[in-house]
Structure 1
Amino acid sequence: MSVHKYLGLFRREIEKLEDYGYAESLEIREEIRPNRQANIKVKAVLIDRSVLHIREYIDAKYGTKRLSYAYHYQDADGNLIFRYDNAMH
């Protein structure tokens, strides 16, 4: 899958949070890099004021591969609810 196709699919899926009334606001930043790579950063403020942060770095040179990712969800006061990532711990 191409970088542009992945970004389009990703954007359509994350925008469903707004479409279905779960998000007050969405910030989506995409950075296409050389060699068919891209950075995606999302900040979704949900209707209960909790915040979901998503970060993905993908490589689509030989298929689509998520090189790194982080999904961070916190309540309205900034307390961590969950975090998933593939960083070395």
Structure 2
Amino acid sequence: MGSSTMINLSFNGILLGALLKKSITNSISLQNFLLLVIPHGIFEIPAIIIAGAAGFKIPYEIVRYLVGKKETILTKEDTKEYLTLAVI
């Protein structure tokens, strides 16, 4: 139900925070840290967000079905959206 996605997103956030803390304790300026991280962040941060959205898509639809807001668990449209996120 999205636990692996939550672990992955938490790990990425904790890792970035730990790197920021380590750079501050090693007296690396915030400007230098950002100059090193931003080029990676241009592609990695949107990829992490899209992966999180894809990972939570199916559990979200299952919960909506169990609550009674949907009549079927996954429709063709839901499947297409999930596959589009997975391909991206």
The alignment's TM-score, normalised by the length of structure 1, stands at 0.29
The alignment's TM-score, normalised by the length of structure 2, stands at 0.29
Structure (1 or 2) with the greater strand fraction: 1
User: Which has the greater radius of gyration?
Assistant: 2
Structure (1 or 2) with the greater helix fraction: 2
Higher relative contact order (CA 8 A, sep 6+): 2
